Amino acid sequence: MDINDVRGLGSVFALAAMLGIFWWAYGSSRKQRFDEDAEIPFLDDDDGSVYDDKDRSK
């Protein structure tokens, strides 16, 4: 086994990892959760609190 075999196995592993991430991210069983999470930035804050950049302890 030389360095080219190791590089080839690394490429196969990287491809398998990428395909696994795509399968996880675009799987139909997670679509509802991701759609709900996509709406989070548009939700109103009901507590009325305002945070400034100087006070990050809140």
> Does residue 16 lie in a domain region?
yes
Domain that holds residue 10: 1-28
User: Cα(34)–Cα(26) distance, rounded to whole angstroms?
Assistant: 10
| pLDDT score recorded for residue 1 | 85
> Does residue 54 lie in a domain region?
no
- CB within 8 A of 49, min separation 6: which ones? 58
> Does residue 37 lie in a domain region?
no
User: Which of 7-16, 19-28, 33-42, 47-56 is predicted least confidently?
Assistant: 47-56
Provide mean pLDDT across the span 1-15: 96
> Does residue 38 lie in a domain region?
no
The count of domains in the chain is 1
Q: Are 58 and 49 in contact (CB under 8 A)?
A: yes
> Does residue 5 lie in a domain region?
yes
Q: What is the percentage of the chain residues whose pLDDT exceeds 90? A: 52
- pTM of the model as a whole: 0.56
Report the candidate in 40, 44, 47, 42 with the shortest Cα–Cα distance to residue 58.
47
> Does residue 20 lie in a domain region?
yes
> Does residue 56 lie in a domain region?
no
